[in-house]
Amino acid sequence: MAEAKATRLRERPLSPHLQIYKPLLTMMMSIVHRITGGALFFGMLLLVWWLIAAAAGPNAYAQVQWFMETLVGRLILFGYTWALIHHMLGGIKHLVWDLGYGFGPVEREWLTVATLVGSIGFTILIWIVGYLVMGGLR
């Protein structure tokens, strides 16, 4: 038993981790997928706050509206939109890969660039339409 413990405590060589590899776009986007997922985990609090405020009454709802119109609120919402769209498109890419397609050297790069360009494009589009719905900048 003592011997087993000593063996465990000894510094063992570890397999190489992220820092040893040259950063590739597919790899970076894989990390971003996880980061956006983690952000959306906590972003759910924002959605729940909005729903509870709507259910609570006009005063609580006015507070949410006030916060969302501040610069910080707007930035958080913008980040939320991008994280949501990016995680969704990245998820679709992963589903394509799960089915065994798109692994070629050209396709995998193309797919990954498409998720990034698509997420930025859709986020901007959603915000333009959003401001149009509200009748201009505010």
Partner 1 sequence: MTEDHRFQMRTPLGRVRHLGSAHHGTRAFWHQRLTAVANVPLTIAVIVIVMGLLGRNHAAVVQILGSTLVAITMLLFIVTSVYHMWIGMQVIVEDYVHDETWKLVTLMLNTFFCFAVGLAAVFAILKLSFGL
Q: Give the interface with partner 1 as residue ranges (CB under 8 A).
A: 34, 37-38, 40-41, 44-45, 47-48, 51-52, 54-55, 57-58, 61-62, 84, 88, 91-92, 94-95, 98, 126, 129-130, 133-135
Q: Please, what is the minimum distance in Å from the beta carbon of residue 113 to partner 1?
A: 20
Backbone angles phi, psi at 10, to 5 degrees: -65, 140
Q: At its nearest, how many Å lie between partner 1 and the CB of residue 105?
A: 25
C-alpha separations of 88 from 28, 58, 59, 84, 133 in Å: 16, 32, 33, 6, 24
Identity of the residue, 116 or 126, whose beta carbon is nearer to partner 1 in the bound complex: 126
Whole-number minimum distance, CB 37 to partner 1, in Å? 5
36-53-68 Cα angle (round to 5): 55
Of 106 and 111, the one with the shorter C-beta distance to partner 1 is: 111
Nearer to partner 1, 34 or 121 (CB): 34
Work out how close the CB of 133 gets to partner 1 at its nearest, in angstroms, rounded to a whole number.
Answer: 5
Of 37 and 106, CB closest to partner 1? 37
**Cβ within 8 Å of residue 33, ≥6 positions away:** 86, 87, 90, 91, 94
Nearer to partner 1, 71 or 106 (CB): 71
Residues contacting residue 37 through CB under 8 Å, at least 6 positions apart:
87
- Contact at 8 Å (CB) between 80 and 46? yes
